[in-house]
Amino acid sequence: MSKSLSAWVTELETRMHDVAGLWCRTLARTIACRPTRRRNAPRSYGLEQLEARQLLTANLGLAHAPIYDTPALQLSTSEVIKTLSAGEQNAGGKGTASAPALKNYVYSVVGNAGDATYVDGTTVKIVNPTSSGLALVGGGTDVDEAFRWMGAKANGGDFVVLRATGTGAYNSYIDALVPALDSVATLVISTVAGAYDSFVVQKIQEAEAIFIAGGDQADYINLWRNTPLEAAIYDALARHAPIGGTSAGLAVLSEFDFTAQGGTITSAEALANPYDSRVILDSGFVNDGDFDTAKSGQHSVLQYLDNLVTDSHFQQRDRMGRLITFMARIDQDPASDPFPRGIGINEQTALLVDEDGTARVVGNPIIVSRKLSAADQQRAVYLLSATATSIMSVNASGLTYKDILVAKADVGDTFNLDTWFAGSGVSTYHISAENGVLSSDQFVDKKLIY
């Protein structure tokens, strides 16, 4: 059936708005120019604050259009229109390369666009062995040390960033931090078909490091779960490629993921009703159980996130209550192991986990300002575990779930995720939810002291 005239007009208006939005962002350095809200734009539920390096968002309707790295934003309006029509993808940095922007994915790379291999006579060999690891990042401004650590483990190989919306701006950032890498590439996969694409699968299979960017974890679960893309991640992990994620990318690395498929939820809302329709937990995407099935009895570094749920922007968005609620729901799952665990990570903070389970906390320097005190910028990780007395009950007044052991690790502190044993510098305390209200010796004047 052909489109009506009004439908064509609406589509034309939408396309022109998107181009105008790009043009405004190009001029934003010199004039105050903000795109207006799109008419009839779809609601973006469960959307985390997009990280600083994501230059375009799905809110502008660009999830299925070419998404540009920094150099492309310098184009004139006419060039932007021409490039959108041609479906070209620009990439910047050393040894630049580009590929056509397909409907199913957008690919950009700096460095070697091929696999990190070399030829010795007639034999093709992998450049260097990799070392497994987990980089668990709490969102906000990216943590340089986390990428240096992952890059060192990639050992001169290919670093691949995965996202459902956004740009390839991570490419030049990571390349500058770890210039020894063979390449840094970004795959923006915004459709289910893209998760089945052979090019996408091959690039992930060949990766020596994988990082899942921030955004909306509902996209990752809806588009990528139980696809060849997920299987390709397991192929890379089997070769001991390190893996990491920030914000939404962190949320999908644990065995149990808060999916945000029904929208985001605050601590107060979750504590008041742990069976709120928005409290959706999934265990079907990127976990060691699926890796074990795919790789016939092997285990990956993801095993340290078994029976566990993660959360990001932890102190900054006051998420202790909702993380405890997620743990309580896991505790009620008859298929889960007893004593569920949780990891909450503050912004600009990362927990770096080696292949034996030993972990340390790193973070960006604290810059005290009039708007943000040092207390509001803590670089800390919170490791929660249920105890034998952590019995969940729910009544009209909310969640009761007592005696959760909390280990708080600051920058430089260490912890072992394999034995769940606190190392140097870690402080511990207990926290409980009773009738929807948190209590702990960490409270002062009824405020939780993170």
pLDDT tens digits for the chain (450 residues)? 444 555 554 455 544 544 444 444 444 333 333 333 333 333 322 334 333 333 222 232 222 222 222 222 222 323 222 222 222 222 223 444 444 444 689 999 999 888 876 555 555 555 578 999 999 999 999 999 999 999 999 999 999 999 999 999 999 999 999 999 999 999 999 999 999 999 999 999 999 999 999 999 999 999 999 999 999 999 999 999 999 999 999 999 999 999 999 999 999 999 999 999 999 999 999 999 999 999 988 999 999 999 999 999 999 999 999 999 999 999 988 878 889 999 999 999 999 999 999 999 999 999 877 777 777 789 999 999 999 888 889 888 899 999 999 999 999 999 999 999 988 899 999 999 999 999 998 766 556 667
Q: What is the pLDDT of residue 281?
A: 96
What is the per-residue pLDDT across 114-143, written as a single tens digit (0 to 9) for each? 887 655 555 555 557 899 999 999 999 999
For the chain, how long is the longest CA-to-CA vector? 73
Which residue is it, tokens 């009761």? 400
What secondary structure letter does DSSP report for 419?
A: T
Q: What is the pLDDT of residue 338?
A: 86
Using alpha carbons, select from 320, 293, 287, 322 the residue that is nearest to residue 305.
287
Q: What is the pLDDT of residue 12?
A: 53
Q: What is the pLDDT of residue 47?
A: 35
CA distance 27 to 73: 9
Residue 362 forms beta bridges with which residues?
350
At 45, list the tokens.
């539920």
CB 68 within 8 A of CB 21: no
Q: What is the pLDDT of residue 27?
A: 41
CA distance 154 to 164: 23
Q: DSSP readout, 339-385?
A: S-EEEEE-TTEEEEEETTSEEEEEEPPP---SS--SGGG--EEEEEE
Q: What is the pLDDT of residue 391?
A: 86
At 138, list the tokens.
């709490």
Q: What is the pLDDT of residue 121?
A: 56
Any residues with CB less than 8 A from the CB of 133 and at least 6 apart, and which?
149, 150, 153, 242, 243, 301, 352, 353, 354, 355
CB 224 within 8 A of CB 201: no
Q: What is the pLDDT of residue 80?
A: 26
Q: What is the pLDDT of residue 104?
A: 86
